[in-house]
Amino acid sequence: MIIDNNISLKPYNTFNVDAKAKYFAEVNSIYELKQLLNDKNHNSEKILILGSGSNILFTKDFDGIVIKLNSTEIKLISETDDNIFIEADSGLEWDGFVKYTISNGISGIENLSLIPGKVGAAPIQNIGAYGVEVKDVIESVNIILLNNLDEKTLSNEECKFGYRDSIFKNELVNNFVVTSVLFKFSKSNKVNLSYLPLKNSFVGKTESEITSEDVRNAVIAIRESKLPDPNKLGNAGSFFKNPIITQEKYDTLKNEYSDLNGYPESNSKMKISAGWLIEKCGFMGKRIGDVGVHEKQALVIVNYGNATGNKIVEFSKMIQNEVKSKFNIKIINEVNIL
């Protein structure tokens, strides 16, 4: 295990923002991770666990140690007549895991295809797309607590999953490392076409004719048609969460804007598109210097060249303020800002 110092983080974040880490280490096992965290030369440093850097925005150098987990093992834990249990290491690319499940005849996360990031980040953010959230298939999450290096397993319930939320962003923030995730897949899973644009990809077909691989391919096509490739244009995907508003407020907006779509969150709440709000405020394709909103997806803020993290934050606040002014709705960052 090599510990480097004064390392540029530009290759390690999809916004392509230049920032430096005081120390940087890549670890390949739980043993190496604990060895590093016990190292008397570094155990007093601030710690940042970095996955793909696909949901993070650096606004300054990181005055501590950045740790990248490289373990990528997938293990079949058990199988019953109804379910199959698979454990995946946190360093595994998320979409690689989705591809693995499809190729092995396992369904349940095909709607989450092409989401950037690592398996270890999936429960933290409770990633979701096209009518599916990862909490729906998580059995438990294995972690190491940073304050005492104890290994612990949290059940699905103990993870306190919410919309793009979990215990890891609240009670356990800055005090854990996800080492692996145990997934529970039902053998009777049916394709989920609750998201209208996805359903429209299969006009003329019945659900029984549609496979999980078909859904994966359709999701990939939709995402690639409207989301920029971070390898070509710096971005972190959706910058904002979709807001949840009251049914009453939704009905009022719907009367004024017939093109507004909402998705029931509860009996009295509706989730609406932050992208729709941003587009209505005139930000689609808007650019100031090297920062702008993508021309095909208003939820995505992009770095066109050498934008700093602070310039991107400044631009995001301009969007938030305009949405608040026009609709009296607060949109919240999905991207973690450091």
Active-site residues, by number, are 164, 238, 334
**Residue 159, SS3?**
helix
Tokens found for residue 220: 């990939």
| Cβ neighbours around 85 below 10 Å, total | 16
**Among all chains, which residue has been given the structure tokens 């059995």?**
139
Which one-letter DSSP state was computed for residue 191?
Answer: -
Instruction: Please provide the distance, in angstroms rounded to a whole number, between the alpha carbons at the two ends of the chain.
Output: 26
| Cβ neighbours around 285 below 10 Å, total | 12
| Cβ neighbours around 162 below 10 Å, total | 13
Phi, psi of 69 (to 5 degrees): -90, 130
- Contact 5/24 with Cβ under 8 angstroms? yes
Regarding beta strands 128-129 and 291-293, do their DSSP bridges make them parallel or antiparallel, or are they unpaired?
unpaired
| Cβ neighbours around 175 below 10 Å, total | 14
